[in-house]
Amino acid sequence: MKIIDIKDIIEAVKKLCIESNYFLNDDVLVSLKNGLSKEESPIGKGIIEQLIKNASIAREDHMAICQDTGMAIVFADVGQDVHIVGGSLSEAINEGVRRGYQEGYLRKSVVKDPILRVNTGDNTPAVIYYNIVPGDTLKITVAPKGFGSENMSALKMLKPSDGLEGVKKVILETVNQAGPNPCPPIVVGVGIGGTFEKCAFLAKKALSRPVDLRSDIEYVRKLEEEMLEQINALGIGPSGLGGRVTALAVNIEVFPTHIAGLPVAVNISCHATRHAEALL
């Protein structure tokens, strides 16, 4: 059995909060650079160039890529042979978020109550998803999620008879209705199957997959490629000012579901699809 002290967890989460907000993931940066050769609109090209320059400045000067440094989404894969000592795992993760946002000079955007709207002042609590896995390691992924794009997301409980065409319609309509609001070029996470809440989780989890990595399920891979092509044919373009590069990727995750259901969730992210991970 491996023993992990909460002090190490706090420090790891703190660093991940800062790193994920300062350093744009390499796969996204490469995708933006590739988008320059695909974008035909002069305005669109200029916007992508500015995004690349912005990422470079953020990396060099150690500052946030975007002023919306997001709500902290944390995926914790906990090995069943791990023993956490020194306190609560959830409290350790939240303390790491608290320190990361304070020491990293990151905007604190979380309100304590969705109606009363009083800011917690430290960007906690984080939204934490636990997954018990074999082994003796603790893998932590921090994925700050901005709400300009989060607000453009959608969930639809389709009928099984709606089938694949119904799924495609939901994805395209969600992106088209979002228009310029999620600050394209976007990354589109899609969850299909499970239950009402499971498909939303799948869509969120899909955003943590590299934008250059396609599904290993053949029909899902083809769907990802088809949806990316159709989304980019909408003409929304960078910053919604027209062009061919509306999305950098469509990442789809699927899960078994009930015979009477076909849940579909679409979770949109701006180009700053931030995530960083640590293995303890």
pLDDT score at 72: 98
User: Percent of the chain, pLDDT > 70?
Assistant: 100
User: Residue 202: which of 265, 250, 148 has the closest Cα?
Assistant: 265
pLDDT score at 104: 97
Cβ-contact 35, 185 below 8 angstroms:
yes
Of the CA atoms within 13 Å of residue 158, those in its CB half-sphere come to 24
pLDDT score at 169: 98
Q: Any residues with CB less than 8 A from the CB of 172 and at least 6 apart, and which?
A: 227, 230, 231, 234
pLDDT score at 108: 97
Q: Helices 218-232 and 163-178, interaxial angle, to 10°?
A: 40
Mean pLDDT in residue range 91-115: 98
pLDDT score at 30: 96
User: Residue 192: which of 261, 128, 246, 127 has the closest Cα?
Assistant: 261
Distance of CA 202 to the CA centre of its chain: 11
Mean pLDDT in residue range 13-17: 98
Mean pLDDT in residue range 83-89: 97
pLDDT score at 223: 98
Distance of CA 72 to the CA centre of its chain: 10
**pLDDT tens-digit profile of 44-84?**
999 999 999 999 999 999 999 999 999 999 999 999 999 99
**For the chain, what is the mean pLDDT?**
97
Mean pLDDT in residue range 208-227: 97
- How does residue 35 score in pLDDT terms, banded at 50, 70 and 90? very high
- How does residue 176 score in pLDDT terms, banded at 50, 70 and 90? very high
pLDDT score at 76: 98
User: Percent of the chain, pLDDT > 90?
Assistant: 100
Residue type, position 259, single letter: I
Mean pLDDT in residue range 89-107: 98
Find the helix or strand (DSSP H, E) in which 85 lies.
Answer: strand 82-85
Mean pLDDT in residue range 138-154: 97
What's the whole-model pTM score? 0.95
pLDDT score at 146: 95
Tokens (6 digits) for 207: 């955003």
pLDDT score at 149: 96
The domains of the chain are located at: 2-20+65-145, 148-274
pLDDT score at 259: 98
